[in-house]
Structure 1
Amino acid sequence: MEIRKLNSLRAIAALIVFITHFSDVTHWLDGALGGGSGAYGVMLFFLLSGFLMSYLYLDKAFSKDNIKHYIVARIGRVVPLYLLIVFASYFLSQAGSDVLYQIPDFNSLLGHFLFMVGDRVLWSIPPEVQFYLIFIVFWSLSNHRSGYIYLAIVAVLIILFLTNFPRIYGDIYGVPYNMFNVIRSLPLFFVGVVFGLNYKKLNIPTYMKQHWLVLVLCLIPLMYPELSPVNTDAKHKMWLSYEVLLVMSTVFFCIVFLVPDNNILLANKVGDVIGKISYSLYLLHLPVIMQVNQLNLNIELKLLLSLAVSLLLAYISYRYFEKPIAQFIRVKTTNSSSQS
């Protein structure tokens, strides 16, 4: 069963990242909406990923066929567009162009190809893929030992807190890796898993489901460094703050569990479309902003043009590459399974 409002939540996450990068690149509103605030959009993506993996798979049998279908679906969803952009960035970098992302040499290309490191927005894809592998362990426990999932999550959260999120990065024979990115992302994925585990089980009283709770989304901009009422350096920690984890988890819980599914602000055609193309939008928007910023236009026109071109490219990417490739991978895998 599709939870339609998650499309709009995915769209909001992508637009948060877009606005943040536009503010950083152009200094729109004196950069008030930038300063790394796109992290909150990525956090929503990670919460959504953990939730959906848990919601879609943990009540299914942990069988060879189901695992195969899971891996194929994940590969088809994330890998093709990512690799296309990685290789395009590498060859453009070799030609001296910075139109896409900076992948200056073969070792850097290999680090991206192996999901060990990522330039700019590409950094978030390796943690996503690594979480998919970790999730298989949770799935193996879900049918008969689901309590161990909670125990493992609590243990990891405590260890990360006590070790202050260890900075593990470097290179292996010149190939760069950055495990810190997945380490700092795990709490978001894990909270999403817990929510997904309980979505079908938790019986929320009708009187607690209120449309006005959609306003909880306003908590996100209140955490932006330039807008936050917090006066300590905690407002800059973002990924390393369990306070931020609590707020983002609260926002996610309220939207998913307490806002009615037919809320007009979340269940609408615009949210559906942008949500579906959000992955392409996320990967392609920054190069667009960088190129548009070189034009001699006022900043409002740059904003509108950047958004329009980013949405158009994202739609084309989704419609003519991302979606067909994912379907092709599934069909080929299904045919190979039936013939074996």
Structure 2
Amino acid sequence: MSQGVEERKQSAQIPLLTGLRGLAASIVLFSHTAIVGMLPRVFGHGFGQVGVMIFFVLSGFLMSYLYIRREPNKKNVSSYIRARIGRVVPLYLIVVLISVVVSNFVYGQFRYSLPLDQIGQILQAILFIQAPWELWTIPVEVQFYAVFVIAWLLYPKVGKASLFIVGAIASLPAVVYLGVYQEKPSILPTYAFAFFLGAITAVFLPQIKSRLGGRCPSLLGAVFLVLLFLNLPALRDGMHLSISPGSVYISTWLDPATWFIVYGLFICCLMETSTLAMFDSKPFIFLGNISYGLYLLHFPILELTARYIGTSPVGLLVGVAGSIVLAWMSYRYFEVPVMKIIRGRRPSRIIDTDEPAT
């Protein structure tokens, strides 16, 4: 059996995950439409971070689920690297380079402003060290891909402990930095715990399924989904229920209640809870497939739409539809062909079942 076929068969065992990624992309899109004024601002302040939390947990889970038990030999590691590069790097670099050109020579108010007099920032973005604006998640994701290889290489020797050890070491610099400087750089250590939460879940999935009897109560999936949309960071800030009002990072990424909801929804998807069956529907799968391009491309479109068409329902429709259409075109005519070239084989039509987008 070819590795590509094997990956698709493994991924198909958990059919709701692509749709869950579609939900995560929708949350980010939904949040940013509020930020540009197309929806009430209560939906914008930090809610997009919840979508990114889902993306990161999914990414950690799928890397571990698909690769950790394979022998980390030269062939498998090479295949892993090609798959990760093919999925993430080309579109991101194109967006960065286009942003440099547009923001310096065409439209100075472009969302992804990368001025030439800040060449260090541009180089950091190109080298996947750290990136501004919504681009910040991609270097973090790539850094996780690199660190995951270390856990993978250790796995045959120390087993599941490799993920705990590497995850703890990867997170430690952020704990020290946040404690000493009260700042959180947008690099892997700041968010490593989210990735490794997903990765550790993958290796303990049989035990989780055994404890839960292979399923979650049907109602529970619906409860977590409703709570996800009720637990708005801005709403909690306004009601003085946030653990750190005014700090989006602390009130989302470090908030136990938010993680309980996000992780609970994720587990219900793994258990294929019937009330979440919508995530296996064509609309959510479609959004999940185009989620990477949708994430990278939507905000500039929303901002331009708000500025030149307005924030009325017409502007909302144009901005959202334009974002989805451009993301689909990117997926269909750029991402899939480039992946085929880099991987050296034809990828699945639903290529990002095993390729988490951020």
Q: TM-score range by the shorter chain?
A: 0.7 to 0.9
Task: Identify the residue that residue 23 of structure 2 maps to in structure 1.
Answer: 12
1:47-58 → structure 2 map (5 Å cutoff): 47-58=57-68
Task: State the match for 2:164 in structure 1.
Answer: 150
How far is the alpha carbon of 1:291 from its aligned partner?
A: 1.0
Partner in structure 2 of residue 175 of structure 1: none
Contact map agreement 2:60 2:199 (CA 8 A) in 1: yes
Shift of 1:99: 3.8
Q: Does 1:325 align with 2:338?
A: yes
Please say if residues 28 and 299 of structure 1, whose CA atoms lie closer than 8 Å, have aligned partners that are also in contact: no
Match of residue 287, structure 1, among 296, 300, 306: 300
One-letter amino acid matched to 1:18? L
Which of the residues 246, 250, 262 maps onto 1:248? 262
Residue type at the aligned position of 2:264: T
Q: Could you tell me how far apart the structure 1 residues matched to 2:337 and 2:298 are?
A: 21
Matched, 1:257 2:271: yes
The answer to whether the 8 A contact 2:243-2:251 is kept is no
Residue in structure 2 matched with residue 195 of structure 1 by the alignment: 201
CA distance in 2, matches of 1:293, 1:93: 18
Residue 354 (structure 2) aligns with? none
Aligned partners of 1:301, 1:165: CA distance in 2, in Å? Answer: 46
Question: Is 1:211 aligned to 2:221, yes or no?
Answer: no
Contact 2:172–2:189 under 8 Å retained in 1: no
Match of 1:74 in 2: 84
Encode CA deviations 1:139-189: one digit per residue, 9 max, x unaligned: 0122231223224435666775576466699xxxxxxxx854322211110
For 2:180 and 2:135, the matched residues in 1 are separated by 21
Out of 92, 97, 106, the position equivalent to 2:102 is 92
Contact kept in structure 2, 1:22 and 1:28, CA below 8 Å: yes
Provide the residue aligned with 2:232 in structure 1: 224
1:309 partnered with 2:322:
yes
The CA distance in 2 between the partners of 1:165 and 1:184, in whole Å, is: 12
Task: Indicate the SS of the match to 2:113.
Answer: coil
Q: SS where residue 204 of structure 2 aligns?
A: helix
Aligned residue identity for 2:167: I
Candidates 130, 133, 138, aligned match of 2:146: 133
SS in 2 for 1:209: coil
Shift of 1:302: 1.7
Counterparts in 2 of 1:276 and 1:289: CA distance versus 1, 3 Å? same
Report whether the alignment pairs 1:24 with 2:35. yes
Q: Which runs of 4+ in 1 moved over 6 A?
A: none
d(CA) in 1 for partners of 2:303, 2:253: 29
Greater fraction helix:
2
SS of alignment partner, residue 23 of structure 1: helix
Q: How many residues align?
A: 323
User: CA 1:102/1:214 → structure 2, altered by over 3 Å: closer, same or farther?
Assistant: same
Match of 1:270?
A: 283
Residue among 89, 105, 112 paired with 1:101: 112
Q: Which runs of 5+ in 2 are unaligned?
A: 1-9, 346-358
* 1:26 CA drift (Å): 1.1
2:308 is aligned with 1:300: no
Structure 2 counterpart of 1:214, one-letter code: G
CA RMSD of aligned residues (A): 2.7
What is the letter of the counterpart of residue 16 of structure 1?
I
Amino acid at match of 1:199: L
1:126 Cα deviation after fit: 0.6
Identify unmatched segments of 5+ residues in structure 1: 170-177, 333-340
Q: 2:307 is paired with a residue of what secondary structure?
A: coil
Q: Note the alpha carbon deviations across 1:239-258, whole angstroms, 9 max, x for none.
A: 55151434422332222236
Counterpart-to-counterpart distance in 1, 2:22 and 2:101:
30
Q: Which amino acid aligns with 2:227?
A: L
C-alpha displacement of 1:21: 0.9
Percent identical: 31
Question: How many angstroms does 1:92 deviate by?
Answer: 1.1
After superposition, the C-alpha distances for 1:212-238 in whole angstroms (9 at most, x for unaligned) are 332212222333222225524435423
> Which residue pairs with 2:4 in the alignment?
none
> 2 CA distance for matches of 1:220 and 1:166?
32
Q: Aligned partners of 1:324 and 1:225: how far apart in 2?
A: 39
